Amino acid sequence: MMITDNALLNNIILAVVTIIVAPFLGGLLSGIDRKISARMQNRFGPPIFQPFFDVFKLLGKERIAVNQTQMVYAFGYLFFAVASLIMLVLKQDLLMLMFVLAFSNVSIIMGAMSVRSPYSKIGAQREIIQMMSYEPVLLLMVVGVYLTTKSFMIDSIFTHGQPLLYNLPLVFLAFIFILTIKLRKSPFDFSTSHHGHQELIKGLTTEFSGPQLAVIEVTHWYELVLLMGLIVLFFAKPLWVGILIALVCYFIEMVIDNISARVTWKWMLKASWIVGIGAAMTNIIWLYLK
């Protein structure tokens, strides 16, 4: 952005605040997720702050690695997720945000592929397919936003007169659909799994341990906040409505997670390309003709 010095200072402060606050929100959300999921399964469930306890415990664990480079990939995952979140709060280019987010994801895939464990490798391959499934929908969402606001800058969404949802209902549905993939929730949880007792062990993260796993966990929180932020964009004005809707969407994701069983990659690719791209494209064509 073309920015003045004063605005630059504000931006830096905003970025720093985001870096500090986002993990708290994300951790809290995933704590609530675990609690509610447990209740849905008739369990009592862990305390809401359990994710934080987990991370602290992981940080204190012995530093074991399968190779010397794993930590770098974990940090790559973290840094670029944070970078894309900062792009969101600084209201930068939405399309580039998606690409930076993709970098973050590619980094964790590389980390999983850098070890010679079959579980981790298969998880990585599946994660690549997941990326291939949701990436087009994310990009189409950006195009939809452009056709509505005539700009790629997130800034313009806030100056736009009405909520995006009026113009982009189908794009929103497609986004919610791929959100399940992005959050690696059931039925699309096949690159990693909630339990270490499945065919894939923990897939993508099988060979990460201790502090590395802590970094990955924290990145998940940033990512979660980012994705919730993207939902908020659809209802940007007033902001609290957007946040409320984002929470409702997250609740829906939890329900879906708990009531569905894993599908195959072919099914996912077909479903997300036909339903996701189909819905988003339909929406975009009508915007284009309007």
Partner 1 sequence: MVALAVAILLPALSALLCYLIKKAPARNIIIVCSTLIMFAVAGVFTSLLFKSGGKISIDLEGLPLDIGWIVKILDLLLMIYVIYIGFKLKKSLIVLLASLQLIPLVLFEVFAGVHEPATAFVIDYLSLVMILLVSIIGPIISVFAIGYMKEHEHHSHLKVSRQPRFFLIIFVFLGAMNGLVMTNNLLWMYFFWEVTTLCSFLLIAHDGNAESIKNATRAILINLFGGMAFLAAIIIIGLAMHTLSVEDILNANSAAGLLPLALGLLCLAGFTKSAQFPFQSWLLGAMVAPTPVSALLHSSTMVKAGVYLVVRLAPAFNGTVLGKLVAVVGGFTFVAGSAIAISQSNGKRVLAYSTIANLGLIICCAGIGSYVAIGAAVLLMIFHAVSKGLLFLCVGTIEQGIGSRNIEDMQGLVKKMPFTAVITVIGMISMLLPPFGVLLTKWLAIESAVNLPLVLIMIIIGSACTVVFWAKWIGIILTMPYETEHKTEELSFSVKSALSFMFLGVLAASIGIVPLFNSLIAPYITALSLGDNTALIAGNGGIWLANINNAVYGGFASVLLFIVLLVLIIAIPYFMRRTRPESIRPPYLCGENINNDVKGLEFTSPLEKAEQAVVRNYYLAGAFGEDKLTLWTNLVAGAIILIMFGVVIIL
**19 in contact with partner 1 (CB under 8 A):** no
Distances (CA, A) of 251 to 217, 240, 256: 20, 17, 9
HSE-CB for 128 with a 13 A CA cutoff: 10
Tell me the closest approach of the beta carbon of residue 261 to partner 1, in angstroms: 22
**Total interface residues for partner 1 by CB under 8 A:** 70
**Are the C-beta atoms of residues 182 and 231 closer than 8 Å to each other?**
no
Q: How far apart are the first and last CA of the chain?
A: 30
CA 240 from chain center: how many Å?
21
164 DSSP assignment? G
Q: Is 62 in the site for partner 1 (CB under 8 A)?
A: yes
Burial class (CB in 10 A: 0-12, 13-18, 19+), 56: exposed
If one asks whether residue 60 binds partner 1 (CB under 8 A), the answer comes out as: no
Question: Looking at 147, 204, 227, 230, which residue binds partner 1 (CB under 8 A)?
Answer: 147
Shortest spacing between CB 111 and partner 1, in angstroms: 9
55 or 124: whose CB is closer to partner 1? 124
Considering only CA atoms, which of 10, 23, 2 is closest in space to residue 214? 23
Using only the alpha carbons of the chain, give its radius of gyration: 19
CA atoms within 13 A on the CB side of 219: 23
Chain centre distance of CA 186: 14
Say whether 93 sits in a helix, a strand or coil.
strand
Using the minimum distance from each CB to partner 1, give the nearer residue, 146 or 263: 146
Single-letter amino acid code for the residue at 43: R
Of the candidate spans 32-40, 143-151, 168-176, 178-186, the one that interacts with partner 1 by CB under 8 A turns out to be 143-151
156 near partner 1, judged by CB under 8 A: yes
Nearest CA among 254, 153, 248 for reference residue 194: 254
Instruction: Give least dist CB 14 to partner 1, A.
Output: 15
The window from 19-27, 131-139, 165-173, 230-238 that contacts partner 1 (CB under 8 A) reads 131-139
Tokens 């952005």 map to which residue?
1
Residue from 88, 100, 224, 228 in contact with partner 1 (CB under 8 A): 100
User: What is the three-class DSSP state of 44?
Assistant: coil
Q: Is 139 among the residues that bind partner 1 (CB under 8 A)? A: yes
User: Could you say which residues in the range 202-261 bind partner 1, by CB under 8 A?
Assistant: 206-207
Q: Quick one: 9 or 252, whose CB is closer to partner 1? A: 9
Q: Which of 34, 51, 54, 80 binds partner 1 (CB under 8 A)?
A: 80
Q: Which two tokens stand for residue 220?
A: 């998940």
Residue span 271-290 as binding mask against partner 1, x where in contact by CB under 8 A, dash where not: --x---x---x--xx--x--
Q: Judged by CB, which is closer to partner 1: 47, or 118?
A: 118
Q: Taking the alpha carbons of 131, 150, 236, 153 in that order, is the dihedral positive or negative?
A: positive
Choosing from 30, 92, 186, 205, the residue that interacts with partner 1 (CB under 8 A) is 92
Interface with partner 1 (CB under 8 A):
1-3, 62-69, 71-72, 75-76, 79-80, 83, 92-93, 95-96, 99-100, 102-103, 106, 109-110, 112-122, 124-125, 128-129, 131-132, 135-136, 139-140, 142-143, 146-147, 150-153, 156, 201, 206-207, 266, 269, 273, 277, 281, 284-285, 288
